[in-house]
Each structure stands twice: as structure tokens, then as C-alpha cells.
Amino acid sequence: MIKKKVICGIQIQSYPFDVEKNTSKITEWIETASKKFKPSLVVFPESVTTGFTPTKPLKSFISVLKKELPKTLKAVSETAKRFNTAVVLPTYEPINDGILANNAIVIDEKGKIRGRYSKMFPFQKEIWTKPGSKMKTFTAGKIKFGITICYDGDFPALSQKAAMDGVELVVRPSALLRDFSIWRMVNRARAYDNQIYFMGVNACGPDSSGKLFFGHSMIINPYARVISTIGINEGFIHSDIKPKSAIKDHNVVKIDHIKDIKKLHPIKLSGI
């Protein structure tokens, strides 16, 4: 019997700048999700260790990260191993004393760090981060997946590159403040564009800037059906992911954009 591959998004509010307190919250939610759903992969919102906007002086912000992040990675890795679940942990990481990377760290089910994806498209005034240079794919929890962080999701080529590389899932950790209708439309489009599962995990609650994240995390199947969602409060989204051939939906004509691209009009996506 093939074990189900369950994916879980954990929608939570971060305490601004309090890495230690956020780390405790992250590990507690992994434990709760693991006992409830036995997920293969759990994903948190963008910049979950600190909150999105560094309203304190950047040097002070970086100093806190340098001190606390090693302890965070140790705690989350131990929790991932304990509950046999892979984790996507979005966090800022210092590049030097003047700039950050907006990263998503992939920790596998054995507690090993498998790599990092750096956000390629910082949003407008996100001037405290350096753009990443390349789309990456990962395999953890026996799932092959790609990552786009928040505004990255607006760029179809990133998800298409991941799909061309054979992923079954793209995850989108976010701290998104724009219109809900755009969030829902883009998430569904990226799933349907590429006939992949797509999971958008958004922050909820207030940011240190005073703005309010609206949550509404969601999982979409390869035919644009929203199969799990949540409102504005903290909580979970979850679903098992199946091969496309096993998805039963009599209202869907099953097509495969990626197969047709490769067969009829092969394209080369450069620079991502």
C-alpha cells in the first residue's frame, strides 16, 4: 500500500522581531499538525520567524537574526525529525551587515537542511532584501516541489520552470496584503497553467508596519479546484496529493499543458 502524501499549510501570525517566541510557536504547530494529519510536508508563511517588515534599524534586526537563527534551525530540525515530516521554513537570513535574503529553508523529514530558495522578486519597497537568482526544486517528504515566495507567484515562468522540471507541487509562502481576489485568481492560475498542486500559505494578523494580513491560505489541485482553505484566523489547510490520473472530477476535461509544451513546442526558460 502506497502511503498518502499529505501536505499541510500552517497559517499563523508572527510576533514582530521575537525569533525565540516565534520558534516556540512554529515547533508547537508542527507537533499539533503532525499528530492531527501526519503530513509529509508542512509549510509556513513568508518571514515567519520575525514578521515581514523590519521597522527597527536593519543592523539591529540582522544582529538578532545572527544570534537566534542557529537555535531556530536546530529546534525546527529536531521537531521535523521527531515527527517525520519535512518543513518549509521561510525566514530572513543575513547576507552581510547591510542586507538580507528572503529565504525559504527546506528541512527534510530526517531533520537535514536540503537547501534554500531565495525570493527572486522582492515586492516594490522590500529594499532590505537582495533578489535571488534561480528557481530551485527540492525533494523532501517524498514530494518533489518548487517554491515561489509571495510576489514571485505573480510571475508564471517560475512555476512553469518548476513544472517543466517535474514537480508535483509548488508552494507559495506569503505575507500578502493585496486584494483577496487577486490572491485566489493567481494561485488557481498557477495550478491550472501547469497541472500541478499549488499551495499558498499566507500570514494572518497584524504586521509591525500596522497593516493586516488577511490569511485565506489555500490548496488547489491540478485542475484549479480549491480543495482546502481557511479564513483570516490561525489554523491549517491540508490535503493528500494524488497522481493526476487518480483525480476524479466528471466536470473536468483532463489535459496536460506541460506534456503538450514538451511534445509540440519545447521552450527553454533561461535565467530562472
- Render pLDDT for 115-147 as a digit per residue (tens, 0 to 9): 999 999 999 889 999 999 999 999 999 999 999
Kindly tell me the burial class for residue 237, based on how many C-beta atoms sit within 10 Å of its own C-beta (0-12, 13-18, 19 or more). Answer: buried
Q: Residue 107: which H helix or E strand, with range?
A: strand 99-107
Stretch 242-252: mean pLDDT: 85
Q: Helix and strand tally (H, E) in the chain?
A: 5, 14
Location of C-alpha cell 531533520: 111
Local confidence band at 12 (pLDDT 50, 70, 90 cut-offs)? very high
Local confidence band at 190 (pLDDT 50, 70, 90 cut-offs)? very high
pLDDT of residue 51: 96
pLDDT of residue 1: 43
For the chain, list the domains and their CATH numbers. 6-264 (3.60.110.10)
CA atoms within 13 A of residue 230's CA, in its CB half-sphere: 22
Distance between CA atoms of 50 and 67, rounded to whole angstroms? Answer: 13
Query: Grid coordinates standing for 64?
Result: 538578532
- Render pLDDT for 85-117 as a digit per residue (tens, 0 to 9): 999 999 999 998 889 999 999 999 999 999 999
Number of neighbouring beta carbons within 10 Å of residue 31 = 14
pLDDT of residue 11: 98
Length of the chain measured in residues: 272
Per the model's pLDDT, the better-predicted residue between 90 and 178 turns out to be 90
Stretch 17-31: mean pLDDT: 97
* 155 neighbors 177 (Cβ within 8 angstroms): no
- Render pLDDT for 203-215 as a digit per residue (tens, 0 to 9): 999 998 888 999 9
pLDDT of residue 270: 72
Distance between CA atoms of 165 and 146, rounded to whole angstroms? Answer: 9
Q: Is the pLDDT of residue 240 over 80?
A: yes
Write down the mean pLDDT value for the chain: 95
Q: Is the pLDDT of residue 3 over 80?
A: no
